[in-house]
Amino acid sequence: MAFLSLFFFLPIVLLSFLYNALKIAEFFGCSVGYLFGETDIKEQPATNDDGLTEEQREIIELFDRADPEVQRAALEFLRAIERREHKPDNT
């Protein structure tokens, strides 16, 4: 009977431990791996960060809201700028 109670109690303790570890890591702004010494990288992996700047997000939002004709014109404009910047200098 003691084995069965341990069988049901152990997962609860383990989940509680992991939950608390996550909360502590969140408090200190680090990953659980850093907290346990598994890595030297302190930064907590971003869960909501897409790696874009505010300006890049704004460009995407404006592009998505624009009419298809405006989207094509914007792409042509950006491609022309890129070609001009990567064009070899003939002077």
pLDDT of res. 1? 55
The per-residue DSSP string of 42-73 comes to: -BPPPSS--S--HHHHHHHHHHHHS-HHHHHH
Distance CA(55)–CA(28), nearest Å, equals 29
* pLDDT tens sequence across 19-58: 788 888 888 888 888 888 888 877 755 545 677 778 888 8
Please indicate, yes or no, whether the overall pTM of this predicted structure exceeds 0.85. no
* pLDDT tens sequence across 79-90: 888 888 877 765
pLDDT of res. 47? 47
DSSP 8-state symbol, 30: B
Token pair, residue 88, equals 């070899």
Distance CA(20)–CA(39), nearest Å, equals 19
**Rounded alpha-carbon distances, angstroms, from residue 5 to 9, 17, 36, 83:** 6, 18, 29, 71
